Amino acid sequence: MLKPLSSDRWDYTKAAHLLNRAGFGGPPEEIQKLADLGPDKAVAYLLDYEKIPDPTPNPDWAQPNPDEIKKLREVQRTGTPEEKKMAQREQQQLFQRRMLELRGWWLKRMATGPRPLQEKLVLFWHGHFATSVEKVRNPYYMWRQNELFRRLATGNWQQLLTEAGKDPAMLVWLDQAQSKKDHPNENFAREVMELFALGEGHYTEKDIGQAARALTGWSLEPNEQKFIFRPRIHDDGDKTFLGRTGNFDGDDVIQIIVAQPQAARFITAKLWNYFAGQMPSEDLNTDLAAALRANDNNFKPFLREMFRSEKFYSDAVIRNQVKSPVQWLVGSVRVLESELPPPLVSWGMLRQLGQDLFAPPNVKGWDGGVTWITTNTLLSRYNDAQSLVEGTLPPLAAGDFAKKAGGGKGQKAMKAMQRIRMGGVKVDKILLPDEKADKGTIVAALEHRLFQTSLSGDQEQTLREFLNSKTKMTDADILTAIRLMMSTPDYQVT
Amino acid sequence: MKNEITLQTRREFLRRTVLGSSLAWTVPAFLANTFSVLQAEAADSAIQTATGKDASILVVLQMAGGNDGINTVVPYANDFYHKARPKIGLKAEEVLKINGDIGLHGAMKGFKELYDAGQLSVIQGVGYPNPNRSHFRSTEIWQTASDSNRVEKNGWIGRYFDNACPGADPTIGVTIGSQLPQAFFASKPKGIVFNNPQNYRFMANGAGTEESYKKLNELEMSSAQPDDNSGGSIGMLPAGMPMTGGKAVDFISRTALDAQQSSDEIRSIAAKVQNTAVYPPSQLGGSLKMVAKLIGGGLPTRIYYVSQGGYDTHTNQLGSQQRLLGDLAESVKAFTDDMKAQGNMGRVVVMTFSEFGRRVSENANGGTDHGAAAPMFIVGNKVKAGLLGQYPSLAPGDLYQGDVKYNVDFRSVYASVLENWLKTKSAPILGKQFTPLPVV
């Protein structure tokens, strides 16, 4: 049993913690709102997000486009080598533009959308099913998978695993679309057990081979760009899988996997790690798994128990999670009440910080935790903080931008760079006139906003001394102080 | 003679340990004596602890994704080979022949030149008992040098630093990239990571900004006590297994200090040292180019780590592996040319590894699935050049679940590199004594 946090222990700090973890944090007024609601309603506000309309329109290319594909095929079949090359380049540039748009579209949903927990879960499932456009090479598929995670973010474990397996991006990513009866491809069969649902040591190599046989026939219809079952390449012989024997197909495989007690342990440990910032103890994992199973493998009631649990608010959990680059970027924009940098710049920052959305490093996704922090990424965070606060371009080489701008070089890239406008932070938006009047209250108000706690006495003094050294303190000096606060180890955790 | 050298280097090492290199000569004798007692154990464990301009250097090159070793070191005359790979098998005229049975992949001209010059050893059939076919688990096994049924947190390079380089400069280990490989995870993590030297610094504008940044990040350290032997430091944590104890902020504080210390040094070297060789415009080429600069600039680094990805060739393998191996061979060749021009070739050994080889039989998609044993390459002036170990048998009866069996445990290669090249005892680092394969 997960013991709930008693309501009388609910306070501003815990409300801030909930918003930081079940969302991307926010300014003091948002935290205060959750603090006033009490724990049940605060959790419900974030979790029952279906009640809040989300009017975000989809990208206009976010639909199957058979004509586009037919045209391309036609060129590949009948075109001259020149035409083929041209068509390929055009398509590549189109894909790059769309991916850029998609990344901006998603980040905006996280930063300003009305359903922060839904987006936080989409980010979890993206990291969990870790599919990369680098192999899938199709923005529509990437968008479609992202929407699948959004639709089933708090849904049922078996349904999610099945649909994720039949999702076009996944069918390409783990080669399932190419797996045939006489040569079953083991890639998806292996990863669905090792990385998605059970973890290493809970199946044998033989189970993988058997699952791969059962999964044959799961394929992709390239014109309509959707899942299709092809009976002719499906192996319909008997398989023995995880101790059961029968003429299993792919759906059976998923069902048998999710029925393993380990499947609940595995996914709840990962969810706890994602939201609480550390792997659960064996005992806690047992309680978490029991909670999911008691709710028929539905995530929503499970998450409600988790976000209400006493353990989620323990001292070891609060302010002890390394912010992922996305948490860092989106969270910064939210607490500073500023704007996201344009997609090109956001993308550049996140790549440099080690979290390129839609392009995780491998099938296992991002390792997370302290592995986000290296000497390199830490300095980058400190420097990107300057860009966010002061509204200047981040220190990315021009060539890097050129590549991202879609293959342009030289002048064209420089022009594209000059067009980029960064928002920056408006001091008057985050400091009241009377807060701004005194250097001591400036530091205190900013600490409250950025950390929801105090820095060490020495750090506070350093910041006060910095402001005191300015004979005529300007807004620019306050912005530098904010940047300095973000250039601390403390700001990298939440 | 040998003793004298050891004493000399030990004294130097102690000075560095106490106050850092820049103040070495100012260490009062009584302090040095005190610390020599405290550090005696650490010093004894390190037969050779010198860092600096003359020490030997290891460059670890990861071929990520599981390189198909069979199409890299190709048994082109073997019938089993062609039977198992009717579509992707390489013919005699497509390989760079080493002898009547075996040749290097045709794209590896640079490696063939090194081979002919006696600077390349090809260790055949390297693996470990009970091989694991998961990328992550097998990578973890190679990075931690653990048995396949035991999960280790720290990496073998990290344990080398823990055992043989206490108190060393943060630049004792350098990874070119943005993530620290698990091989570097240690109880007291060392080593820095960067990819672009120009951006490897705190960019400050306005008076007092940089000073305040330093204070804000140094103050943290005093509470974190990074060099406290009694524990409390959280250390690095294994990938995918985030912290179960300790404070995340302590780890970040330590990293912040390493970043501060190494930033000036890296940038000045990167700006000063010129490469003479021409590298391919690939990620690996760029990484090795940077390593060459840092070596030329005299960074006290013992281990550099670079990687090249893309070897997970489940589909249409021929083209992608051709490109990857070509890039590998060209990049490493350019690097050795640079080292020769610098006069540093005698100090450097490059060692490649991949988490596993691939299945002997090709799959239906013109690719290969995850397998087991595969070759390693060791490059250097003092390597035992030629073919080492035995080519694993491809006869169907000799395979285990379709994979070749290993002949050489990778840890006996690590043992050789540690003992014969980095001059340290390997058993404390590898957990037990492996017989060093005579390779360096």
Interface of B with A in 278-307 (CB under 8 A): none
Q: In chain B, which among 386-405 make CB contacts under 8 A with chain A?
A: 401
Residue A22 has pLDDT above 90, yes or no: yes
Burial A177-189 (b: 16+ CB within 10 A, else e): bbbbbebbbbbbb
- When the pLDDT of each residue in chain A is averaged and rounded to a whole number, the result is 93
B251 contacts on A by Cβ (under 8 Å): 370, 373
Q: What's residue B53's pLDDT? A: 60
Q: Which residue has the tokens 């100090």?
A: B347
Q: How far is CA A25 from the centre of its chain?
A: 15
CB-based contacts of A225: which residues, under 8 Å, 6+ apart?
A64, A65, A66, A69, A140, A141, A168
* pLDDT for residue A414: 67
Three-class DSSP labels, A136-190: HCCHHHHHHHHHHHHHCCCCEHHHHHHHHHHCHHHHHHCCHHHCECCECCCHHHH
DSSP state of A84: H
- The residue behind tokens 């990208």 is A59
Nearest to A456 among B199, B219, B262 (CB): B219
B window 248-277, beta carbon within 8 A of A: 248-249, 251-253, 255-256, 258-259, 262-263
Cβ contact, residue pair B256, A378, below 8 Å: yes
Give, in degrees to the nearest 5, the angle at Cα A484 between A479 and A487: 130
Give the model confidence (pLDDT) of A102-123 as tens digits. Answer: 999 999 999 999 999 999 999 9
Q: Do B365 and A178 touch (CB under 8 A)?
A: yes
Residues of chain B in contact with residue A190, where contact means CB-CB under 8 angstroms, are 133-134, 370
Instruction: Give the tokens for residue A46.
Output: 């974030």
* Closest-approach residue (CA) in chain B for A488: B217
- Facing residue for A379 by CB, picked from B200, B205, B239: B200
d(CA A81, CA A87): 10
Delimit the domains of chain A by residue range.
7-47+261-313, 325-419, 427-492
Q: What is the DSSP string of A298-320?
A: BHHHHHHHHHHBSGGGSTTTTT-
**Residues of chain B positioned with their CB less than 8 A from the CB of A281:** 244
Q: Which of B38, B51, B42, B39 is nearest to B9 (CA)?
A: B51
Q: In this predicted structure, what is the pLDDT of residue B156?
A: 97
Please answer yes or no on whether A370 and B252 come within 8 Å at the CB atom. yes
pLDDT at residue A244, as a whole number? 97
Give the number of other Cβ atoms within 10 Å of residue B381's Cβ.
16
- Alpha-carbon gap, residue A2 to B154, rounded angstroms: 33
Poorest-pLDDT segment among A42-51, A337-346, B223-232: B223-232
> What share of chain A in percent tops pLDDT 90?
83
% residues pLDDT > 70 (chain A): 96
| B345 CB neighbour count, 10 Å cutoff | 18
How much is the pLDDT for B414?
98
- Among B216, B251, B365, select the one facing A175 at the smallest CB separation: B365
Closest CA to B355 of B23, B37, B62, B145: B62
User: Given this model, what pLDDT does residue B20 score?
Assistant: 34
pLDDT (0 to 100) of residue B234: 30
| Interface contact flag, A492 B137, Cβ < 8 Å | no
Rg (CA), chain B: 22
Chain B residues closer than 8 Å to A328 by CB = none
Distances (CA, A) of A174 to A199, B157, B184, B312: 17, 32, 29, 11
Which residue from A200, A362, A380 is facing B199, i.e. has the nearest CB? Answer: A380
- Token pair, residue A101, equals 């748009």
Report residue B435 as tokens: 């017989």
Helices B248-272 and B283-296 cross at an angle (nearest 10°) of: 80
Region A237-250: what's the mean pLDDT?
A: 98
pLDDT of residue A410: 57
**Residue B342 has what pLDDT?**
95
> Where does residue A473 rank: exposed (0-12), middle (13-18), buried (19+ CB within 10 A)?
middle
B174, B179, B370, best to mutate vs chain A, most A CBs in 10 Å? B179
The reply to whether B202 touches chain A by the CB within 8 Å rule is yes
* Residue ranges of chain B with per-residue pLDDT less than 70: 1-53, 219-246
A181-195 pLDDT per residue, tens: 998 999 999 999 999
Which amino acid is located at A98 in the chain? Answer: R
Query: CA B343, CA A382: separation in Å to the nearest integer?
Result: 38
Structure tokens at B205: 């504008």
Residue B258 has phi, psi (to 5 degrees) of -60, -40
**Predicted complex ipTM:** 0.93
Q: Which residues contact B5 (CB under 8 A, 6 or more apart)?
A: none
Q: What is the CATH number of domain B46-189+276-289+300-430?
A: 3.40.720
Contact of B367 with B313, CB cutoff 8 Å: yes
| pLDDT tens-digit map of A377-418 | 999 999 999 999 999 888 764 445 545 544 455 566 667 777
- Contact between A190 and B134 using a beta-carbon 8 Å cutoff: yes
Per-residue model confidence (pLDDT) at position A403: 53
Rg (CA), chain A: 25
Which of A182, A362, A379 has the CB atom closest to B259's CB atom?
Answer: A379
- Chain A partners of B258 at a C-beta cutoff of 8 Å? 375
Q: Closest by alpha carbon to A379, among B263, B206, B237, B266?
A: B263
Contact B365, A179 (CB under 8 A): no
Give the model's pLDDT for residue A29.
Answer: 97
Query: Given this model, what pLDDT does residue A400 score?
Result: 55
| B215 touching chain A per CB within 8 A | yes
Whether A35 and A12 have beta carbons less than 8 Å apart is answered as: yes
**What does B133-193 look like in DSSP terms, one character per residue?**
--HHHHHHHHHHT--TTS--SS-HHHHHHHHH-TT--GGGEEEESSS--GGG--SS---EE
B26 at A interface, C-beta within 8 A: no
Rounded to the nearest angstrom, the minimum Cα separation between B435 and chain A is 30
Give residue B205's pLDDT: 84
